[in-house]
Structure 1
């Protein structure tokens, strides 16, 4: 298995407070996408991080050898709609309760 910490970088610092109606819809789809991957055991955990300088999203992934993390995050509805981007950080291991 390959493990990653992925950081969703929104398009602007105040994104969570200033989302347009289409962005709100895409963010809802983004959450559902990650929830589905969590239910399937691909995403271990995900959620928003609130920092004074601006929020962002974090997710922990455990994927099969040979799978491409960039391709998986490119399938996220928020990314498919051109809003923000992901940064991917390989992890040496990922331990969880499951």
Structure 2
């Protein structure tokens, strides 16, 4: 199975420090979506940078092909709602700590 990465950035940069109630709800759904991907064995890792300015997140996961990978990215509630803009990239974990895919 191929590995993929989708990169997300907030469409409203101020959201990181001052989210609206709707953004908070959508980001919570985003987090639950990532946990579900992990529990289904799809997600390798996900996280975001810890600065407020120019922050971005990455999700590294497995999918059979680009269409399936795009479906995973587009299924992210925060991407679907437009809270995050996303870009998809083929990826390969080269070195990882024990317990992470590709190690």
Q: For this structure pair, what is the TM-score category when the shorter chain's length is used for normalisation?
A: 0.7 to 0.9
Stretches of structure 1 lacking an aligned partner (at least 5 in a row): none
Structure 1 vs Structure 2 CA RMSD? 1.9
Given the two structures, how large is their TM-score scaled by the length of structure 2? Answer: 0.80
Greater relative contact order (Cα 8 A, min sep 6): structure 1 or 2?
Answer: 1
Q: Is the aligned partner of 1:94 residue 2:93?
A: yes
Equivalent runs, 1:58-77 vs 2, <5 Å: 58-65=58-65, 67-77=67-77
How far 1:15 moved relative to its partner? 2.1
Partner of 1:37: helix, strand, or coil? helix
What count of residue pairs does the alignment treat as equivalent?
97
Partner of 2:93: helix, strand, or coil? coil
Stretches of structure 2 lacking an aligned partner (at least 5 in a row): none
Does the Cα contact within 8 Å between 2:17 and 2:52 map onto a contact in 1? no
Given the two structures, how large is their TM-score scaled by the length of structure 1? Answer: 0.83
